[in-house]
């Protein structure tokens, strides 16, 4: 079951890559569609980020005493200033470890 999902995910990913390169005439993609597609990361990734940060393991909002919120704040700030992917990830992880292990 897991393998089927992985293989179909691969197939979908491949077809998305291949379709525009080979099959479909590029005029099919209007300028407006292209602009909207450029928002895809901003539309999809927060749907994963927000629940992972603000909800506890049981799916309840956890706004007080939540080390992930503080660590995420650090990561966002570092990301804003540095625009560096690696610094963003590690500043968040390290501040998370400091909070959970030192306090």
Q: Which residue ranges make up the site for another protein (CB under 8 A)?
A: 1-10, 12-14, 16-22, 26, 29, 32, 34-55, 59, 61, 68, 71-72, 75-76, 79-80, 82-86, 88-90, 92-93, 96-97, 100
Instruction: Tell me if 74 sits within 8 A of 91, measured CB to CB.
Output: yes
- Minimum distance from residue 16 beta carbon to another protein (Å): 4
Cross-strand partners of 55: 61
Instruction: Tell me if 92 sits within 8 A of 69, measured CB to CB.
Output: no
- Minimum distance from residue 32 beta carbon to another protein (Å): 6
**Which lies closer to another protein via its Cβ, residue 39 or residue 103?**
39
- Minimum distance from residue 69 beta carbon to another protein (Å): 11
**Which lies closer to another protein via its Cβ, residue 22 or residue 64?**
22
Distance CA 93, CA 15 (A): 35
Instruction: Tell me if 71 sits within 8 A of 96, measured CB to CB.
Output: yes
What's the angle, vertex CA 45, arms to CA 40 and CA 13, rounded to 5?
60
- Minimum distance from residue 77 beta carbon to another protein (Å): 10
């Amino acid at each position: 079951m897991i393998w089927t999902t992985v293989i179909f995910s691969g197939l979908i990913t491949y077809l998305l890559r291949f379709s525009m390169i080979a099959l479909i005439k590029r005029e099919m993609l209007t300028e407006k569609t292209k602009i909207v597609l450029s928002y895809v990361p901003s539309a999809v990734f927060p749907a994963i980020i927000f629940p992972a940060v603000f909800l506890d393991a049981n799916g309840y909002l956890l706004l007080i005493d939540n080390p992930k919120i503080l660590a995420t704040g650090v990561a966002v700030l570092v990301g804003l200033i540095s625009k560096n992917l690696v610094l963003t990830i590690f500043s968040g992880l390290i501040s998370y470890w400091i909070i959970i292990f030192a306090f």
